[in-house]
């Protein structure tokens, strides 16, 4: 039956029209972006009508060609160096279609079968990569329904939330007659353990998903205690020890120390070994957000950057960043196979105790089998090609950094630890150590440069504001180049930097 349905679809007129569209799309991939304003574009998306009768597929395709494609971000454009999103490798295209046909739901094993087991296996692969525990450990836990080495989730934000939810529940766990946080709520649980409140400790460069998590978990965003960082963006250990002492003195319960392995804004990596040792010394759970940097573990030459990651209790790794998957797949890995049990939920119809159902441990319910993308990526690429891509991206980063250092109109704002570079346009006529007023002016110019290149759509870098540069306490607007697309060439880099300087000079002379 399923075969028949599939054949009918494949042979249909609609499919032939879509085939023609794909021809068009192949051409579109290489066309530059036209100028457009989001305000104007938003007018095309105001009508709320649903057609009474179906429209022709050809008309719908026309709508996509006219209203969607020209106004999307062309990730295949090798002058796009702005965000952590890359083109999906063509090897994964057939997997997308297969997943669509199968439409498995890994929330419960009855609706996914082999794909649940494949996800468990995959989680084992990443667990081993991160924690490097003995083979016997994996033989015992990978396919053991009573163990959970991690969960697949739809993104890094959800992985971080899942991590903190489990850690909070483990800190405020059931205790004698006390039923624990999940049942009794934060107020009673905190009181039971004699804490004034619960806090998180982590770098001010931690992703804003930790703010969301602090809010969702009822901790309050003010209770994510932000630690300052050094010039290279890594957390200041003296400030960490000081804050821990303050928390103890004030009777605050610490849910977790959060380390970042590849910060969103600058790609910086926290001193994971030292943080891990401090976490152990004070018996504080340690979560590492390696959403960006985690895949560096596949590279023999770069995994050293993540030294200390095995100190973590929980780790986030994103598939849709440096593992090139389509949007929507990340992992939250638990070192202790029993950790997730602190936040386990069961139902009668699924997610029963001792079942294979992943819904016991995920915050999400229904979930696509995106694990297959990751599995396919690892199998079809192999470790060496994954590493080769990373090496290419790091080479591009080095080339970019050199170019920035050579150009008198550009200033590197931080030594790049991973493949993200923060820099800015500077006015060569100004003094080299820039006064507050000069920095204010440069902040304005760099903001305008980035707005202009976004609107023009030919080249792209992103923008952020950093509080920890050598100009602190003044915040500095910086441009941010992310090297995730290995197809970028040195020529592309030359062009992008020349454009930035050109636009910067134009803006500078008109101010």
Ligand X SMILES: Cc1ncc(COP(=O)(O)O)c(C=O)c1O
Question: For ligand X, what does the binding mask look like between residues 479 and 498, x meaning CB under 6 A?
Answer: --------------------
Residues 183-212 that bind ligand X (CB under 6 A): 207, 209
The contact pattern for ligand X, residues 94-133, with x = CB under 6 A and - = no contact, is ----------------------------------------
Q: Which of 226, 270, 289, 357 binds ligand X (CB under 6 A)?
A: 289
Q: Which stretch binds ligand X (CB under 6 A): 67-75, 104-112, 286-294, 438-446?
A: 286-294
The CB-of-206 to ligand X minimum distance in angstroms stands at 8
329-353 per-residue burial string, b: 16 or more CB within 10 A, e: under 16: bbbbbbbbbebbbbbeeeeeebbee
Closest CA to 265 of 30, 24, 481: 481
Q: How far apart are CA 381 and CA 392, in angstroms?
A: 15
Cβ-based nearer residue to ligand X, 157 or 170: 157
Angle at 310 between CA 306 and CA 314, to 5 degrees: 105
Should residue 318 be labelled a site residue for ligand X when binding is judged by CB under 6 A? yes
Torsion of CA 250, 255, 260, 265, to 10 degrees: -70
Q: Closest distance between ligand X and the C-beta of residue 263, in Å?
A: 6
Output 155 or 337, the one with its CB closest to ligand X: 155
Look up residue 411 and give its two tokens. 């200033």
> Among 137, 111, 112, 114, which residue's Cα sits nearest to residue 124?
137
What is the Cα–Cα distance from 216 to 354, expressed in whole angstroms? 28
The residue with tokens 């969702």 is 216
Nearer to ligand X by Cβ, of 260 and 426: the residue is 260
The least CB distance from residue 328 to ligand X, in Å, is 8
User: How far apart (Å, rounded) are the C-alpha atoms in residues 163 and 342?
Assistant: 11
Q: Which is nearer to ligand X, 318 or 453 (CB)?
A: 318
| Closest separation in Å from C-beta 446 to ligand X | 21
Binding mask 152-171 for ligand X (x = CB under 6 A): ---xxx--x-----------
Contact between 292 and ligand X by CB under 6 A: the answer reads yes
> Quick one: which of 190, 264, 266, 417 contacts ligand X (CB under 6 A)?
264
Cβ atoms of 235 and 227 within 8 Å: the answer is: yes
Shortest gap between Cβ of 419 and ligand X (angstroms)? 12
Q: How far is the CB of 205 from ligand X (least distance, A)?
A: 9
How many CB atoms are located within 10 Å of the residue 74 CB? 19
Task: Report residue 263 as tokens.
Answer: 């910060």
Judged by beta carbon, residue 262 or residue 337, the one nearer ligand X is 262
Q: Is the dihedral of CA 334, 335, 338, 342 positive or negative?
A: negative
Query: Near ligand X by CB under 6 A, which window of 93-101, 118-126, 151-159, 491-499?
Result: 151-159
CB 173 → ligand X: shortest distance, Å? 26
CA nearest 479: which of 400, 381, 369? Answer: 400
Least Å distance, CB 202 to ligand X, is 11
Q: Which stretch binds ligand X (CB under 6 A): 124-132, 285-293, 477-485, 487-495?
A: 285-293
Q: Which stretch binds ligand X (CB under 6 A): 31-39, 102-110, 289-297, 339-347?
A: 289-297
How far apart are alpha carbons 308 and 312 in whole angstroms? 8
Exposed e or buried b per residue across 94-112, where buried means at least 16 C-beta atoms within 10 angstroms of its C-beta: ebeeebeeeebbbbbbebb
In the complex, least distance from residue 306 CB atom to ligand X, rounded to whole angstroms: 13
Distances in Å between the alpha carbon of 410 and those of 431, 441, 445, 510?
Answer: 13, 15, 12, 19
Q: Where are the alpha helices (DSSP H) in 350-489?
A: 371-406, 436-456
Taking the complex as a whole, the smallest distance from the CB of residue 160 to ligand X amounts, in Å, to 6
Q: How many CB atoms lie within 10 A of CB 174?
A: 16
Binding characters for ligand X, 50-89, by CB under 6 A (x = yes) = ----------------------------------x-----
How distant, in Å, are the alpha carbons of 267, 392, 412, 423, 504 from that of 407? 22, 23, 10, 11, 13
**In 3-state terms, what secondary structure has residue 197?**
strand
At CA 498, angle to CA 433 and CA 461, rounded to 5?
80
Q: Which is nearer to ligand X, 418 or 508 (CB)?
A: 418
Beta carbon of residue 302, minimum distance to ligand X (angstroms, whole number) = 17
Which residue has the closest beta carbon to ligand X? 156
Three-state SS for 161? helix
Binding mask 319-348 for ligand X (x = CB under 6 A): -----------x------------------
- Taking the complex as a whole, how short is the minimal distance between the CB of residue 109 and ligand X, in angstroms? 26
Work out whether 312 is an interface residue with ligand X (CB under 6 A): no
Question: Binder to ligand X among 291, 297, 343, 449 (CB under 6 A)?
Answer: 291
Pairing relation of β-strands 476-482 and 252-260? unpaired
- The verdict on 315 binding ligand X (CB under 6 A) reads no
By CB under 6 A, the count of residues binding ligand X is 14
Q: Shortest gap between Cβ of 313 and ligand X (angstroms)?
A: 17
> Interface with ligand X by CB under 6 A: which residues?
84, 155-157, 160, 207, 209, 262, 264, 289, 291-292, 318, 330
């Amino acid at each position: 039956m399923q075969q028949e349905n599939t054949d009918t679809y494949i042979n249909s007129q609609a499919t032939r029209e879509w085939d023609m569209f794909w021809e068009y799309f192949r051409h579109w991939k290489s066309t530059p972006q036209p100028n457009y304003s989001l305000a104007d574009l938003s007018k095309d998306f105001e009508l709320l009508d649903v057609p009474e009768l179906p429209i022709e597929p050809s008309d719908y395709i026309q709508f996509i060609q006219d209203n969607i494609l020209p106004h999307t971000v062309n990730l295949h454009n090798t002058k796009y160096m702005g965000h952590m999103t890359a083109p999906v490798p063509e090897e994964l295209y057939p997997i997308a279609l297969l997943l669509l046909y199968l439409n498995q739901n890994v929330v419960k094993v009855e609706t996914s079968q082999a794909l649940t087991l494949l996800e468990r296996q995959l989680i084992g692969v990443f667990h081993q990569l991160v924690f490097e525990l003995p083979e016997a450990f994996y033989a015992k836990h990978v396919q053991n329904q009573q163990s959970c080495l991690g969960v697949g989730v739809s993104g890094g934000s959800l992985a971080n939330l899942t991590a903190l939810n489990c850690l909070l529940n483990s800190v405020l766990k059931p205790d004698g007659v006390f039923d624990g946080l999940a049942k009794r709520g934060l107020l009673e649980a905190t009181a039971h353990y004699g804490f004034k409140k619960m806090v998180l400790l982590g770098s001010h460069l931690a992703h804003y998903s930790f703010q969301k998590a602090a809010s969702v978990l009822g901790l309050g965003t003010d209770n994510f205690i932000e630690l300052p960082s050094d010039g290279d963006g890594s957390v200041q250990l003296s400030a960490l020890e000081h804050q821990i002492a303050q928390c103890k003195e004030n009777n605050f319960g610490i849910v977790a120390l959060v380390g970042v392995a590849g910060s969103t804004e600058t790609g910086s990596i926290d001193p994971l070994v030292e943080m891990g040792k401090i976490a152990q010394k004070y018996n504080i759970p340690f979560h590492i957000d390696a959403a960006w940097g985690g895949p560096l573990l596949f590279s023999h030459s770069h995994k050293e950057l993540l030294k200390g990651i095995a100190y973590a209790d929980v780790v986030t790794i994103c598939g849709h960043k440096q593992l090139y998957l389509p949007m929507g797949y990340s992992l939250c890995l638990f070192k202790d196979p029993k950790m997730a049990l602190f936040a386990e939920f069961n139902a009668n119809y699924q997610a029963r105790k001792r079942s294979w159902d992943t819904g016991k441990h995920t915050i999400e319910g229904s979930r696509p089998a995106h694990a297959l993308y990751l599995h396919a990526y690892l199998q079809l690429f192999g470790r060496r090609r994954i590493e080769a891509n990373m090496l290419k991206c790091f080479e591009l980063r080095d080339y970019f950094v050199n170019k920035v250092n050579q150009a008198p109109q550009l200033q590197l704002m931080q030594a790049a630890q991973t493949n993200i570079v923060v820099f800015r346009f500077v006015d060569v006529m100004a003094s080299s150590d820039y006064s507050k007023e000069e920095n204010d002016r440069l902040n304005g110019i760099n903001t305008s440069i980035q707005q202009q290149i976004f609107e023009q759509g030919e080249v792209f870098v992103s923008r952020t504001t950093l509080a920890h540069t050598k100009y602190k306490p003044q915040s500095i607007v910086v441009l941010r180049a992310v090297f995730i697309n290995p197809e970028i060439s040195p020529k592309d880099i030359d062009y992008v930097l020349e454009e930035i300087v050109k636009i910067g000079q134009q803006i500078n002379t008109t101010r």
